[in-house]
Amino acid sequence: MLYLIGLGLKPSHLTLEAIETIKSCDSLFVEVYTSQYAEGFIKELKELTGKNIMELNRIEIEQNFESALISANKNKIGLLIFGNPLTATTHIQVLLDAKEKGIKYKIIPGISITNMIAESGLDEYKFGRTITICYHILGFEPESFYDQLKENQKMGLHTLALLDIKKDQTPPKMMNSREAINILEKIAEKRGEHNNFKYIALIGMGSEKQKIIVGREEIINSKEIYELFPQTLIIAGKMNEKEKEVLEKLHNKKFE
């Protein structure tokens, strides 16, 4: 049996089902490239469950996980994933590979950043398609996420933007909210557009130090964006009066 197990945003987010499943597994792996804990470390997870857990990078998951997958025919194999298991497409591919090989599987859900967006004060039912803002490097400057953002804006919908992670670099890089805003503004300038986007930064959500920063200038000038990770950026769509009231009273930011 193959288990895809959600870890949540910190060790204490593990559900009882997740803990019991982890303890029952013969072999355990954790992917370490799509995200990381907002608070805590893999070491704490090992101590909590009393199990040895092997860390895998992107290449090891995408190219070298087959032997572990095949062993799931006779053993209980657990793949641990930060947040919720099926947020990243890589993990859906693992399920497709298991299905093709006739391997049974089970999903153990976990707390994800998508479970935290309502803390911003925006109505989570009014969010459009999620985007991922990618780093721009020489020869690779994608803009498809900006196109989807504009589509959400046309419909008055809020946009949750996941921020790029480069865990396979030395040293690893995690995009902060200021960098994300700069990339969006760079694309807008290139296209001759002027967009007065309303930004909300979710920083280190799930941790004791989590921070929600509302407003472009407030985000740009915040020291927390260099200290707390992972980060997620919300670009607000059309807000109703209740949303505006919540942002003003909870986060001291008034939007017209």
Which CATH number do you get for residue 42? Answer: 3.40.1010.10
**pTM, full prediction:** 0.91
Check residue 127 and give its pLDDT. 97
Where is the domain boundary, 58, 78, 111? Answer: 111
Residue 10 counted as domain residue: yes
Cα 148 to Cα 131, 152, 169, 203, distances in angstroms: 7, 6, 28, 23
CATH number at residue 139: 3.30.950.10
Task: Let me know whether 161 and 247 are in one domain.
Answer: yes
Check residue 216 and give its pLDDT. 96
What's the domain range around 92? 2-111
Check residue 149 and give its pLDDT. 98
The structural domain count of the chain equals 2
DSSP string, 172-231: -EE--HHHHHHHHHHHHHHTT-----EEEEEESTTSTT-EEEESHHHHHT-SGGGTS-SE
Where is the domain boundary, 64, 83, 111? Answer: 111
Task: Let me know whether 149 and 28 are in one domain.
Answer: no
Task: Let me know whether 60 and 154 are in one domain.
Answer: no
Residue 238 counted as domain residue: yes
Residue 128 counted as domain residue: yes
Task: Let me know whether 119 and 240 are in one domain.
Answer: yes
Task: Let me know whether 80 and 126 are in one domain.
Answer: no
CB 66 within 8 A of CB 97: yes
Residue 19 counted as domain residue: yes
User: Checking DSSP bridges between strand 173-174 and strand 165-166, what pairing results, if any?
Assistant: antiparallel
Residue 256 counted as domain residue: no
In angstroms, the CA 237 to CA 128 distance is 9
Where is the domain boundary, 111, 134, 168? Answer: 111
Task: Let me know whether 133 and 209 are in one domain.
Answer: yes
Task: Let me know whether 80 and 146 are in one domain.
Answer: no
Residue 213 counted as domain residue: yes
Check residue 32 and give its pLDDT. 81
Task: Let me know whether 88 and 138 are in one domain.
Answer: no
Task: Let me know whether 99 and 8 are in one domain.
Answer: yes
Task: Let me know whether 7 and 90 are in one domain.
Answer: yes
pLDDT digit string (tens) for the chain, length 256 residues: 999 999 999 888 999 999 999 999 999 999 887 788 887 777 888 888 888 898 888 778 777 788 888 899 999 999 999 999 987 767 888 899 999 999 999 999 999 999 999 999 999 999 999 999 999 988 889 999 999 999 999 999 999 999 998 877 777 889 999 999 999 999 999 999 988 999 999 999 999 999 999 999 999 999 999 999 999 999 999 999 999 999 999 998 888 7
Residue 202 counted as domain residue: yes
Task: Let me know whether 152 and 34 are in one domain.
Answer: no
In angstroms, the CA 13 to CA 108 distance is 13
Residue 177 counted as domain residue: yes
Task: Let me know whether 159 and 88 are in one domain.
Answer: no
